[in-house]
Structure 1
Amino acid sequence: MSEAATITAKTPDTGRWPAHVYAVAAVSALGGLLFGYDTGIISGALLYLREDLHLSSRGQEIVVSVILVGAMIGAVASGRLAGRHGRRRIVLWVAVIFAVGALGAAVAPNTGTLIAARLVLGLSVGGASNMVPVYIAEVAPPAIRGRLMVLFQLMVAIGQLIAYLCGWLFAGSGGWRVMFGLAVIPAAALAVGMTKLPESPRWLVEQGRADVAHAVLRRLRPQGVDVTAEIAGIREVSKSAPPRDSRALLRPWLRPALAVALGVAAFSQLTGINAIVYYAPTILSDAGFGKSAALVTGIGIGAMLVVAGITGAVAVDAIGRRRTMLCFLPLSGLAMAVLGVAFLLDDSAAQHWIVITALFAYILCNGIGMQSVVWLIGPEILPLSVRGPATSLATLTVWGFDLLIAVTALSAINSVGRSGTFFLYAAMNVLCVVFVVLKVPETRNRPLEDIERALRAPGSLRRNLAA
């Protein structure tokens, strides 16, 4: 390891990080709030939207899932554009597209227009989910990178909680228009905030603008820290990277990192989280809970997502990414299995309480064990030379499997019942635990450049980092 890398790896968590570091993370994580709000608001809106527009189960799945099609496109496009225009500028564009899509959905006169508006919203959701974690990862000091990046997931959870609250407050025919339109406010805040933030120092070094990167890092690191050493480490890794080409992601040394990033991305959806987020009020209402009880339960789910986000933000830095997953994912699978069993019981007050308790436990455990890691692990483990397109691929995987869940959840319930569907998701949680045990390394408190060196070294990535 070079001297520059050694100095970078030993940069301490002084507890006196400049306020600008937290401002960067907070403003950019507004993209997470918009992401959470625009994906979560459909759950409450759907109860009345389906009546106002006379939607069948398949029509409901289309309205829910079209945002995910847009997200897949946005994830790919943002990764390509970020290499040319920078991370900060792409997040700024994302905010503008958010506002346009939210206004379009709010004033949509028919189903076709609403679907088109949600497709536009999807472009921004995909761009935000791809670029905001990358931006934070490349700006944050290694010692606090985990908690700052998990702030993004926490803001997603807060956005979903706000969405559930709005679904309850504006319940009734036509109220869904207000629900959609409110997203313009945080979109405008994100756009204004991003105009004040610096560009990623790693992207600046890649563009040959090391002097600007040096000035940025001096604002983002404590006094006395040798930012020249950090610049040297970034430059060393950047120069050793292969030239960008269409085959870069196929290089053998990248496969362990891609396997981890894509595997975690896939399991983040296959374990069932968004089947609950999107359809919980609909599932509960159809199961006899009543619309009001279903919406209030949705607020509880949103609150659990926030608690999970806060707990996950602490856990990933306190005990590590890998151990957080291994502690909480088994409990997530158990809670989902209990939920499946509960729907086999006769309808009663006791059965309702078991359903609600299992739902809350599942959201809490999956939120900590999986959702707090999914947007963190990819930008950490993927090397600088392919971070844009590789993170896009991981984000595309998230949205692709999210789309799979969105377009099959209600159909699966109609085919095999609620219990059968939830048992399937419980099995996916078990498979995810096996994958983490075999493949996922620990990246806590490791500079991005050290992670890349471990990836390039012979042998297992997980063992190289553990050593």
Structure 2
Amino acid sequence: MRFTLIAVVAGLGGLLFGYDTGVISGALLFIRHVFHLDATMQGVVVAIALAAAAVGAAFAGVLSDRFGRRIVLLVTALIFVAGALVSAVAWSVPILLTGRVLVGGAIGVASMVTPLYLSEIAPPDKRGAVVTINQFYITLGIVLSYGVGYLLSHGTEGWRWMLGLGALPGIVLFIGMLTLPESPPWLAGKGRDDDATKALRYLRAGTDVTAAVAELKRDAATHRQHTTPWATLFASKARRPLIIGIGLAIFQQVTGINTVIYFAPTIFQKAGLPSASAAILATAGVGLVNVIMTLIAMRLLDVVGRRRLLLTGLTGMLVTLIVLAGGFMAGLHGGLAWVTVASVAAYVAFFAIGLGPVFWLLIAEIFPLAVRGRGMSLATIANWSFNMLVSITFLDLVHGFGRGPTFLIYAAMTLATLIFTWFLVPETKGRSLEDIEAALDGEAALTA
């Protein structure tokens, strides 16, 4: 029970990530009129937070390696609160963008440090489910943002409340993290063996941690010999994890998921839904599918395995993107617009059992301890950078090529991801972080 509570509190970083990522989709329908934004400036309002997220992720690895995972999450929670409040009271575009930068920076840090912290406090046989708590919270935050967006979509000033309510989970995360221990592997890596032992005993109350402590000490002793972590990251030992991590980071974005997260109401309005409220309600339904399928993924990751779920999810994404593109090219409108909604929901469902949770789980597992923070940081920078690129180009692609061809481009990227996964992505189910590191260092297949 204690460990479950710890994981739930620690995962609140994902809730903030999800809420602040998703809330802009509904708020944008009103912000664009209040501030008279054209398509390019709408893209900037979305993309500036993503650019800030990439910057936040760039510093997150170094900061979490130096100061610890826990203290970084505490500071991040406060930045979330500040960014939400600044966005809510914005009276001009520059102030709004300032709030979005604060929120984006915090999102970038949380998106990297939360799964890192969860992976390091979890026992091997539960790590898939525990780390995926972060992904569950992301999806829950997104669907909550859609629900809030719907409830507040009937007033012209509702967008301020949509953005401002993001401060509440930030406050809860800050209070919760005050009660939690630091990551045992980080403590051991800093030579604080007694503190690492105490933290493990707290985290795994009622179980014998002798073997886990001994393994931590051995691994930490090995990695304390390295004095140049960045050089180690680019050395042969970490090369394969780096290729896998950055590759999946890019593919998670260029397959189009965040065009749905950020622009779903806009997509549904273009497909023929009659009002902003109807479009936001349909988007909330898609968000609920995301939550449910992520819960299913949590149960399957430590049973079926990461690789198999990833391949299954990608296959489903490929098919549904082709159907979605075909629906747009066929000109579905009116009642048939719900075919578009169903296609988007199915696409999100397959993402939620595969590429969504597996990417964040794998990058928390595959990097060596000495460079785990920095390796995850580089993968997260790539993820947010391509998130920004895809988001800022989506409306322009639709304008230039049409909605159908645009989604066919994302389908082609999904096929490329399938090929990449088949040949390069390992199975890590049920292995300790130390075992995974040793196997990848030896170029072992790590297949189920």
Deviations 1:159-210 (A, max 9, x none): 0000001111111312110001101111000000000000000111111111
Q: Residue 402 of structure 1: CA displacement?
A: 0.4
Q: Which residue of 1 aligns with 2:328?
A: 343
Paired with 1:79 and 1:295, the residues of 2 have a C-alpha distance of 36
Paired with 1:103 and 1:223, the residues of 2 have a C-alpha distance of 42
Aligned length: 444
**1:357 to 2:342 alignment:** yes
Q: Report which stretch shifted further, 277-286 or 379-388.
A: 277-286
Q: Report which stretch shifted further, 278-287 or 434-443.
A: 278-287
Q: Which residue of 2 aligns with 1:380?
A: 365
> Cα gap change, 1:224/1:105 in structure 2, threshold over 3 Å: closer, same or farther?
closer
Q: Residue 314 of structure 1: CA displacement?
A: 1.4
**1:300 to 2:285 alignment:** yes
Q: Which residue of 2 aligns with 1:95?
A: 77
Q: Which residue of 1 aligns with 2:178?
A: 195
Alignment of 1:224-235 (within 5 A): 224-225=207-208, 227-235=209-217
Which runs of no fewer than 5 residues in structure 2 stay unpaired?
none
Paired with 1:205 and 1:301, the residues of 2 have a C-alpha distance of 43
Match of 2:250, SS? helix
Paired with 1:330 and 1:466, the residues of 2 have a C-alpha distance of 19
Cα root mean square deviation, aligned: 1.3
Q: Which residue of 1 aligns with 2:160?
A: 177
Paired with 2:304 and 2:298, the residues of 1 have a C-alpha distance of 11
Paired with 1:455 and 1:439, the residues of 2 have a C-alpha distance of 11
Q: Which residue of 2 aligns with 1:279?
A: 263
For normalisation by structure 1, the TM-score amounts to 0.93
Which runs of no fewer than 5 residues in structure 1 stay unpaired?
1-18
Paired with 1:52 and 1:117, the residues of 2 have a C-alpha distance of 16
**1:395 to 2:380 alignment:** yes
Q: Residue 350 of structure 1: CA displacement?
A: 5.0
**1:440 to 2:436 alignment:** no
Match of 1:332, SS? helix
**1:466 to 2:447 alignment:** yes
Alignment of 1:40-439 (within 5 A): 40-171=22-153, 172-221=155-204, 223-225=206-208, 227-241=209-223, 242-290=226-274, 291-439=276-424
Kindly indicate whether the alpha-carbon contact (under 8 Å) linking 2:320 and 2:347 is maintained by their aligned counterparts in 1: yes
Q: Residue 304 of structure 1: CA displacement?
A: 1.2
Q: Residue 287 of structure 1: CA displacement?
A: 3.6
For normalisation by structure 2, the TM-score amounts to 0.97
Given the alignment, which residue of 17, 23, 36 partners 2:5?
23
Paired with 2:332 and 2:432, the residues of 1 have a C-alpha distance of 53
Q: Residue 296 of structure 1: CA displacement?
A: 1.2
Q: Which residue of 2 aligns with 1:15?
A: none
User: After the TM superposition, which segments of 4 or more aligned residues of structure 1 sit over 6 Å from their partners?
Assistant: none
> Cα gap change, 1:403/1:224 in structure 2, threshold over 3 Å: closer, same or farther?
closer
Paired with 1:344 and 1:286, the residues of 2 have a C-alpha distance of 12
Kindly indicate whether the alpha-carbon contact (under 8 Å) linking 1:244 and 1:385 is maintained by their aligned counterparts in 2: no
